[in-house]
């Protein structure tokens, strides 16, 4: 008796480790050859991955069939793209950590550069300045931004809302130096040319922050389902109370996350602060009087105008860069934690 041929096509699989073994071997070979011949390792690695991809494709085609072979190649393509995108990021992090670690010490966080020439000294004046300037910028732009988003989503109709949306979009594209010059010009008109204050930098940063806060908050309000607003209206709750008590709490985690990301976006700005807050070597905690240092301008000046020998200045610049990255990382982490901890599940 003859067994009926299976109607579902059967195929064999390559073992799960097989393609990765081929890619790994190819990369190892590339590194070894680079060592021996002195040819650029990146070049060899790319060639090796392409060759290995062809090998796996052919192997998979003979064993598994054409569709699986294409799948293998596509997997390799997206994985390589991901790895490629990761290269500059990892390289940057490694460089900053390695070079910044040299002066990432207690003195760096307890001393300013007041009366420091050459080695030693710290960036406490720049850290304090960065925190104060960013805090003032956030204090200005977060309330305005959130209220503006509430207007756009909950109240705005017609021409005015369209105009506000348009200008918010335009503001998103403002080069940061233009924001700095604008803030400087505004204060220079009133206080005279050559003025340098922490608050001018804060105004420049809030010009940059505002559109980000508006946009992200508006998005968050948009995903609050209309059903909740209607449920509230149907209880005879007035519109502004609905916004304050129902819509905002529902979107709160998303709004906080957006604000954190906006702060992270401006905390490392250099150009607008360069022209507005000036350069100083001592701690200044008053944004309304005197110049104020910040981390990115600190790093820039240590690198641009080193003394002799320049090494201690470079080391301080790298340590400042590392500090800045850690601050940004902390803000992102807090944003993630907030959205995970307080995130309201929004259905639909």
List residues near another protein by CB under 8 A: 157, 225, 227-228, 230-238, 241-242, 245-246, 249-250, 252, 344-347
Complex with another protein: residue 228 or 328, whichever CB lies closer: 228
Complex with another protein: residue 160 or 329, whichever CB lies closer: 160
Element (H, E) at 53: helix 41-63
Complex with another protein: residue 175 or 249, whichever CB lies closer: 249
Instruction: Give the max Cα distance, the chain.
Output: 104
Alpha-carbon distance of 308 to 38, in angstroms, equals 36
CB of residue 225 to another protein, shortest distance in Å: 7
CB of residue 147 to another protein, shortest distance in Å: 20
Complex with another protein: residue 166 or 233, whichever CB lies closer: 233
Torsion sign (Cα): 325, 328, 332, 333 = positive
Write the DSSP assignment of 114-141 as a string of letters.
Answer: TT--SS----HHHHHHHHHHHHHHHHHH
Tokens 């599940």 map to which residue?
345
Complex with another protein: residue 38 or 236, whichever CB lies closer: 236
301 in Cβ contact with 321 (< 8 Å): no
CB of residue 157 to another protein, shortest distance in Å: 7
CB of residue 243 to another protein, shortest distance in Å: 11
Beta-carbon contacts of 235 under 8 Å, excluding residues fewer than 6 positions away, are none
220 in Cβ contact with 254 (< 8 Å): yes
Complex with another protein: residue 118 or 225, whichever CB lies closer: 225
CB of residue 236 to another protein, shortest distance in Å: 3
CB of residue 248 to another protein, shortest distance in Å: 9
Question: How far is CA 98 from each of CA 92, 209, 343, rounded to the nearest angstrom?
Answer: 10, 31, 36
CB of residue 217 to another protein, shortest distance in Å: 17
The residue among 92, 89, 134, 172 whose CA lies nearest residue 264 is: 134
Complex with another protein: residue 242 or 277, whichever CB lies closer: 242
């Amino acid at each position: 008796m003859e067994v009926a041929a299976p109607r579902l096509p059967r195929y064999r699989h390559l073992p799960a480790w097989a393609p990765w073994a081929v890619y790994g071997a190819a990369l190892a070979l590339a590194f070894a050859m680079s060592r021996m011949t002195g040819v650029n390792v990146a070049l060899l690695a790319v060639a090796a991955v392409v060759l290995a991809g062809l090998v796996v494709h052919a192997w998979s085609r003979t064993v598994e069939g054409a569709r699986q072979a294409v799948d293998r190649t596509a997997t390799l393509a997206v994985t390589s793209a991901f790895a490629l995108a990761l290269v500059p990021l990892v390289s940057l992090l490694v460089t900053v950590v390695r070079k910044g670690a040299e002066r990432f010490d207690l003195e760096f966080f307890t001393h300013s550069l007041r009366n420091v020439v050459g080695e030693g000294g710290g960036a406490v004046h720049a850290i304090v300045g960065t925190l104060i300037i960013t805090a003032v910028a956030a204090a200005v732009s977060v309330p305005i931004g959130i209220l503006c988003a509430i207007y756009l989503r909950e109240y705005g109709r017609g021409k005015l809302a369209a105009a506000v949306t348009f200008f918010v979009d335009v503001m998103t594209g403002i080069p940061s130096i233009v924001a700095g010059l604008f803030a400087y010009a505004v204060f220079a008109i009133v206080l005279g040319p050559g003025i340098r204050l922490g608050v001018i930098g804060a105004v420049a940063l809030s010009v940059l922050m505002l559109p980000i806060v508006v946009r992200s908050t508006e998005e968050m309000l948009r995903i609050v389902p209309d059903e909740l607003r209607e449920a509230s209206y149907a209880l005879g709750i007035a519109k502004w109370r609905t916004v304050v008590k129902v819509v905002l709490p529902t979107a709160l985690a998303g709004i906080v996350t957006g604000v954190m990301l906006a702060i992270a976006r401006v905390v490392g700005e250099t150009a607008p602060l360069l022209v507005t807050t000036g350069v100083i070597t001592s701690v200044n905690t008053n944004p309304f009087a005197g110049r104020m240092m910040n981390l990115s301008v600190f790093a820039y000046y240590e690198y641009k105008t080193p003394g002799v020998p320049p090494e201690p200045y470079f080391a301080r610049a790298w340590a400042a860069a590392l500090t800045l990255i850690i601050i940004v990382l902390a803000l992102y982490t807090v944003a993630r934690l907030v959205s995970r901890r307080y995130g309201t599940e929004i259905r639909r």
